[in-house]
Structure 1
Amino acid sequence: MNMPYWSNEQSGEPLFWVKNRPVYVTGVLILAHCVCFIIGVFAAALDFSSWFVELSFNTRAVLLHTKLWQLLTYPWIHTPSLAFALDMLVLYWFGHDVEHILGRLKYLLLYFSLIFLPAVFSLGLSAIDPTIRGIMNGSDLIHFSLFIAYTCLFPSSELFLGIKAKWVALIFLALFSLIDIASKSWIHLFWCWSSVAIATYSILGRKIFQYLPSFKIGMAKRKTQKPKATESSSTYNKKKTEEDETIDAILDKIAKSGIGSLTKSERAALERARIALLKKDQKK
Structure 2
Amino acid sequence: MNMPYWFNEQSGEPLFWVKNRPVYLTGLIIIIHCFTFIIGVFAAAFDFSSWFVELSFNTRSVLLHTKIWQLFTYPWIHTPSLAFALDMLVLYWFGHDVEHAVGRLKYLLLYFSLIFLPAVLSLGLAAINPTLSGIMNGSDLIHFSLFIAFTCLFPSSELFLGIRAKWVAIIFLALFSLIDIASRSWMHLFWCWCSVAIAAYSIYGKNISHFLSPARLKIPIRKPQKSKEQESASLFKKKTEGDEAIDAILDKIAKKGMSSLTKSERAALEKARIALLRKDQKK
Which category describes the TM-score, using the shorter chain as reference length? over 0.9
Is 2:75–2:138's contact at 8 Å kept on the other side of the alignment?
A: yes
Cα displacement (A) at 1:213: 4.2
- In structure 1, give the amino acid aligned to 2:223: K
Alignment match, 1:188: 188
Deviates more, 1:83-92 or 1:14-23: 14-23
Alignment match, 2:80: 80
CA displacement, residues 211-252 of structure 1 (integer Å, 9 cap, x when unaligned) = 3242313xx44x324246686432331121011000000000
RMSD of aligned residue pairs (Cα, Å)? 1.6
- In structure 2, give the amino acid aligned to 1:194: C
Cα displacement (A) at 1:18: 2.5
Partner Cα separation in structure 1 for residue 106 and residue 280 of structure 2: 24
- In structure 2, give the amino acid aligned to 1:265: S
Partner Cα separation in structure 2 for residue 252 and residue 243 of structure 1: 14
Other structure's SS at 1:238 match: helix
TM-score normalised over the length of structure 2: 0.93
Other structure's SS at 1:17 match: strand
Partner Cα separation in structure 1 for residue 143 and residue 213 of structure 2: 36
CA displacement, residues 184-218 of structure 1 (integer Å, 9 cap, x when unaligned) = 1000000000000000000111121233242313x
Q: Which residues of structure 2 form unaligned runs of 5+?
A: 1-8
1:101-140 mapped onto 2 (5 Å cutoff) = 101-140=101-140
Partner Cα separation in structure 1 for residue 43 and residue 226 of structure 2: 64
| Closer/same/farther in 2, CA of residues 174 and 247 from structure 1, 3 Å limit | same
* 1:224 maps to 2:221: yes
Alignment match, 2:269: 270
Cα displacement (A) at 1:72: 1.1
Cα displacement (A) at 1:156: 0.7
CA displacement, residues 105-126 of structure 1 (integer Å, 9 cap, x when unaligned) = 0000000000000000000000
Cα displacement (A) at 1:183: 0.5
* 1:241 maps to 2:240: yes
* 1:61 maps to 2:58: no
Is 1:12–1:101's contact at 8 Å kept on the other side of the alignment?
A: no
Partner Cα separation in structure 1 for residue 254 and residue 231 of structure 2: 35
Partner Cα separation in structure 1 for residue 211 and residue 26 of structure 2: 34
CA displacement, residues 12-47 of structure 1 (integer Å, 9 cap, x when unaligned) = 431222242110000000000000000000001111
TM-score normalised over the length of structure 1: 0.93
CA displacement, residues 70-123 of structure 1 (integer Å, 9 cap, x when unaligned) = 001000000000000000000000000000001000000000000000000000
Alignment match, 1:251: 250
* 1:35 maps to 2:35: yes
| Closer/same/farther in 2, CA of residues 78 and 10 from structure 1, 3 Å limit | farther
Other structure's SS at 1:224 match: coil
Partner Cα separation in structure 2 for residue 213 and residue 144 of structure 1: 31
Is 1:10–1:104's contact at 8 Å kept on the other side of the alignment?
A: no
Cα displacement (A) at 1:10: 7.5
Kindly indicate whether structure 1 or structure 2 has the higher relative contact order, using CA contacts under 8 Å at least 6 residues apart: 2
Partner Cα separation in structure 2 for residue 269 and residue 211 of structure 1: 34
Is 2:37–2:80's contact at 8 Å kept on the other side of the alignment?
A: yes
- In structure 2, give the amino acid aligned to 1:100: H
Alignment match, 1:149: 149
Is 1:155–1:166's contact at 8 Å kept on the other side of the alignment?
A: yes
Cα displacement (A) at 1:132: 0.2
Partner Cα separation in structure 2 for residue 243 and residue 260 of structure 1: 22
- In structure 2, give the amino acid aligned to 1:138: G
Is 1:12–1:102's contact at 8 Å kept on the other side of the alignment?
A: no
Is 1:177–1:189's contact at 8 Å kept on the other side of the alignment?
A: yes
Matched-pair identity in %:
79
Q: Would you say how many aligned residue pairs link Structure 1 and Structure 2?
A: 273
Cα displacement (A) at 1:150: 0.3
- In structure 2, give the amino acid aligned to 1:73: T
1:160-175 mapped onto 2 (5 Å cutoff) = 160-175=160-175
